[in-house]
Amino acid sequence: MTQSQLRTNEAELIKSVCGGEREAFYELVRPYERMIYATAISVVKNPADAEEVAQEAVLKAFSNLSSFRAESKFSTWLVQITYNEVQDAINSLTPSYREVLVLRDVQHLSIRETSTILGISEPNVKTRLHRARLLLRDRLAPGIDGSWIKGQPYRKARAW
Its pTM stands at 0.70
User: CA 121 → CA 62, 102, 127, distances in Å?
Assistant: 44, 17, 10
**Residue 155 pLDDT greater than 80, yes or no:** no
Residue 93, helix vs strand vs coil = coil
The per-residue pLDDT for range 80-130, each reduced to its tens digit, is 999 998 888 889 999 999 999 989 988 889 999 999 999 999 999 999 999
Region for 112 from its dihedrals, namely left if φ exceeds 0, alpha if ψ lies in -120 to 50, beta otherwise: alpha
- Judged by DSSP in three states, 160 sits in coil
- Calpha distance 55→140 (Å, rounded): 9
Statement: residue 134 has pLDDT above 70: yes
140 in Cβ contact with 53 (< 8 Å):
yes
The whole-number pLDDT of residue 89 equals 86
DSSP state of 108: -
Structural domains of the chain sorted by starting position, each given as residue range(s) with its CATH number in brackets: 32-140 (1.10.10.10)
Whether residue 17 contacts residue 25, with contact meaning beta carbons closer than 8 Å, is answered with yes
